[in-house]
Structure 1
Amino acid sequence: MSTLDNTSLKLPKENPGAEDFLPLLGTDYVELYVGNAKQAAHYYISAWGFQPLAYAGLETGLKDRVSYVLQQDKIRLVLTSPLKSGGPINKHIDAHGDGVKVIALWVDDATHSYNETTARGAKAYMKPNRVKDENGEVVFSGIHTYGETVHVFVERTNYQGVFLPGYVKWDPRYKAPSVGLKYIDHMVGNVGWNEMDKWCKFYEEVMGFAQLISFDDKDISTEYTALMSKVMSNGNGRIKFPINEPAEGRKKSQIEEYIEFYNGAGVQHIALATDNIIETVTALRNRGVEFLTVPPSYYEDVLDRVGEIDENLAPLKELSILIDRDEEGYLLQIFTKPILDRPTMFIEIIQRKGAKSFGKGNFKALFEAIEREQESRGTL
């Protein structure tokens, strides 16, 4: 049974500017198209502490694809690979490499969500579709967003199965302990030159989001590269989508590198929340996950900038965890190196101690760390 409650929630409004006419109750799952779902699942179990949940493939009647579903607290990943040559999944992987195809959003009414968004200009991806099995029924619908990324609306109020109709419980012998990841804090999309405002307008007008914060090239720049970003959020604050675009710089920015290797717009990173970032990152490093590092000098004056924190500075310095503060509190964050062969998608680990922001004070140190990696790849 899912850890998401299958009941309608009256959630408090955190983003007063959002119309929130859908409304959205949370992220249901994130589906990645990958070249080898079985091996990718082993990686996310072994390195990231996800637990096996469900499976669909030849044994369940699928002929063209196989999917493994993994879960850690409220985070669900679906890893999908094609079983035959040709077809849309193959084309997606050929164009983009492994990457996020579906950001599925949990809703009370998938038909209403489809009607509201398509009436406001969204391009239809999936008309409302009711799917049943012995455990109940789920209603799906979907719309296109930036690049080839899609949002699927999932209405699961009347479903009691392990994941979705067509999936069976997946319970292999091997499981690795959780690393303490709790939920998806935000998901970042990279779009092309001068496309940020277009897609922010899409989320505002089509989905009822409002802008939380914006960063221009003065905020997010180094000696060599720059980008711009705006953070869009729904009304209850459970869904946050920062949208990045390149900005003029002396050398090629990380956004340009992403778009070159991903072959267009797509999901750049998924930020996963934890209640103890030191324990989580220590466990991940011990399992082979590689993180960006910052020079020791970052920590010489960081407490002068952010003030008093609950944690000891020494383990944060040892792990290269970044610290920032806003009016509400502070946050701790760290970013992996790309987790795929192409320098595209990565993961952020974040622990919020009251802060609602996204680490603006860390941008320079972070981007310099990314540039060092770009230089080693010869793509700066």
Structure 2
Amino acid sequence: MAAPARRLCHIAFHVPEGQPLARDLHRLFGFQPVAVREAGGWRQLALRSGDAVFLVNEGAGPREPLYGLDPHHSVSSAANLCFDVDDAGAAARALAARGCRVPVPPVRVRDAQGAASYAVVSSPAGNLSLTLLERAGYRGPFLPGFRPVPSEPGPGWVSHVDHLTLACTPGSSPALTRWFHDCLGFQHLPLSPGEDPELGLRVVAGSGRGGLRLTALQAGPDNAVPTLVLAESLPGTTSRQDQVEQFLARHQGPGLQHVGLYTPNIIAAAQGMVVAGGRLLTPPEAYYQQPGKEKQILAAGHKPSLLARQGILLDGDKEKFLLQVFTKSLFAEDTFFLELIQRQGATGFGQDNIRALWQSVQEEAARTQET
């Protein structure tokens, strides 16, 4: 591997001036401002919830924003993943030697709290770039060049980033898997026994209705890097676009579709976000009416009516369960969204939820047409 990732530092967004993303992350989803930088036509605000950090780059300056790259993308998006590495300069040289494009060569930034070095590499996943950051010993609240922002303690709904999901074009997952393996040291994480890393996990929604191919990747042991999930559509006969196809069309190419945020109490987090004005997706009633779903929810120690009212999905069996709920898109283009996830012993990503949701949406649409 050329530049093994050690830790996810932050996820950066690029939005035009006046876009309400930073305000919404704070007011609706419990992220607290920690540091800001205003220079060169950019306003860069870092917000934190637990160990999850989002950097909102707002504006469009003549130079690149600090610690990132302006992708000049036509729609707002989550455009950059920043990873801690041992040596940013060596990592950039190693990736360049592998043929990777390094649009921002190594830069060193210093302030009164210390120094950091970084470089930005283009990824093969649409407009997504990767920042390789070396910041050992930095003592400030975020990174050199930012000033701290006083804020009150947050609600604590989110503790860390659980996973990152890329929406990919059909057939691109094997090449992306190899790139993340060779360049950043990610390894295939089987989601089912005996899974072929070239094929991933096929989540088939039903006869002729397509489905998804999921390929999970994880960094090496002892690294604080979230799981990376590649999602691409399977061919089907239905004329309805699935979630990945919709993202590709509205985002105008592949990219970071959603971030899974871990919460120790999904019921409290979902309720708090709704009270604050956050919009969560509500699954069709058919999801909760599946045979055995009520029994499954009770076995996990939850009330079916409460989960249904909050739109929380539950997957798993025996003593291992996974709870999920999704926000509506954070952008007008209906692209990027957030996922809240709570694990009760489960390690997957709700494969049965994907299948069941797909089928229940189709059944609900059919009933609507009949009436």
Q: TM-score, normalised by structure 1?
A: 0.82
Q: Give the letter aligned to residue 215 of structure 2.
A: K
Matched residue, 1:273: 262
Q: Does 1:166 align with 2:156?
A: no
CA distance in 2: counterparts of 1:201 and 1:265, whole angstroms? 17
Matching residue of 1:257: 246
The correspondence for 2:203, drawn from 219, 226, 240, is: 219
1:27 aligns with 2:4: no
Q: How does 1:180-191 map to 2 (within 5 A)?
A: 180-191=157-168
1:100 and 2:90 matched: no
Distance 1:205 1:355, change over 3 A: same
In 2, Cα distance between equivalents of 1:321 and 1:185: 17
1:131 and 1:217, CA in 2 relative to 1: closer, same or farther beyond 3 A?
closer
2:336 pairs with 331, 345, 349, which one?
345
**Distance (Å, rounded) in 2 between the aligned partners of 1:220 and 1:261:** 24
2:316 to 301, 308, 325: 325
Q: Distance in 2 between matches of 1:205 and 1:355?
A: 28
SS class of match (1:228): strand
Tell me the CA shift for residue 288 of structure 1: 2.0
Q: Could you list the per-position Cα deviations for residues 271-293 of structure 1 after superposition, in whole angstroms to 9, with x for gaps in the alignment?
A: 00000000000111112222222
Superposition deviation, residue 260 in structure 1: 1.2
Structure-2 separation of matches of 1:373 and 1:92: 39
How far apart, CA to CA, are the structure 2 residues paired with 1:302 and 1:368? 14
Call closer, same or farther: CA 1:84–1:160 in 2, change over 3 Å: closer
Q: Quote how far apart the aligned CAs of 1:33 are.
A: 0.2
Q: Verify: 1:232 aligned to 2:226, yes or no.
A: no
The 2-side partners of 1:90 and 1:28 are apart by: 16
- Alignment match, 2:129: 150
Q: C-alpha distance in 1, partners of 2:63/2:190? A: 42
How big is each residue's C-alpha offset from its partner over 1:358-380, in whole Å with a ceiling of 9 and x where there is no partner? 111101233357779999xxxxx
Mapped to 1, the partners of 2:362 and 2:165 lie a distance apart of 19
Task: Give 2:351's aligned residue.
Answer: 360
Inter-CA distance 164–268: structure 2 relative to 1 (3 Å threshold) = same
Paired letter, 2:336: M
What is the letter of the counterpart of residue 310 of structure 2? L
Aligned match of 1:4 = none
Equivalent pairs counted in the alignment come to 349
Structure-1 residue corresponding to 2:195: none
Superposed CA RMSD in Å reads 3.1
Q: Map 1:235-250; keep pairs closer than 5 Å.
A: 235-236=220-221, 238-249=225-236, 250=238
Equivalent residue of 2:203, what SS? coil
* CA displacement 1:290-330 (0-9 Å, x = unmatched): 22222344335125557821333332222121111279822
Contact 1:110 1:139 in 2 (8 A): yes
Q: Is 1:46 the equivalent of 2:27? A: yes
After superposition, residues 63-74 of structure 1 pair within 5 angstroms as: 63-74=40-51
Q: Which amino acid aligns with 1:147?
A: G
Change beyond 3 A, Cα 1:110–1:92: closer
Q: Tell me, what secondary structure is at the counterpart of 2:247? A: helix
Following superposition, the deviation at residue 246 of structure 1 comes to: 2.3
User: In the superposition, relative to structure 1, how do residues 296 and 371 fare at CA in structure 2: closer, same or farther (>3 Å)?
Assistant: closer
Offset from partner CA, 1:198-253 (integer Å, 9 cap, x none): 11111122222111136768514256442322111111363311111222122222
CA deviation string 1:142-197 (max 9, x = no partner): 3211111111111111211121111111236xx68425101111111112122111
Could you tell me which of 80, 91, 100 is aligned with 1:122? 100
Q: Secondary structure, in 3 states, of the residue corresponding to 2:103?
A: strand
How big is each residue's C-alpha offset from its partner over 1:43-96, in whole Å with a ceiling of 9 and x where there is no partner? 111101111111111xxxx2231111111110111111225589899984652x
For the structure 1 residues 282 and 163, does the alpha-carbon distance in structure 2 shift closer, same or farther, using more than 3 Å as the test?
same
Partner of 1:299: 288
Tell me what 2:194 maps to.
none
In the alignment, the residues of structure 1 paired with residue 268 and residue 40 of structure 2 have an alpha-carbon distance, to the nearest angstrom, of 42
Aligned to 1:8: none
1:164 is paired with a residue whose SS is coil
Residue equivalent to 2:275 = 286
Q: Which amino acid aligns with 1:103?
A: L
Instruction: Determine the structure 2 residue equivalent to 1:6.
Output: none
Secondary structure of the corresponding residue to residue 348 of structure 2: coil
CA distance in 2, matches of 1:246, 1:304: 31
Mapped partners of 2:47, 2:30: distance in 1? 9
Number of the residue aligned with 1:15: none
Mapped contact 1:37–1:66 kept (Cα < 8 A):
no
**Contact 1:186/1:270 (<8 A) preserved:** yes
Tell me which amino acid in the other structure corresponds to 1:240: T
Write the distance in 2 (CA, Å) between the matches of 1:91 and 1:55: 17
Q: Which of residues 277, 302, 317 in structure 2 aligns to 1:311?
A: 302
Distance 1:111 1:264 in 2: 30
Mapped partners of 1:203, 1:262: distance in 2? 22
Change (3 A) 1:110 1:320: same
Alpha carbons 1:326, 1:355 under 8 Å: kept: no
Mapped to 2, the partners of 1:50 and 1:373 lie a distance apart of 35
Change (3 A) 1:369 1:285: farther
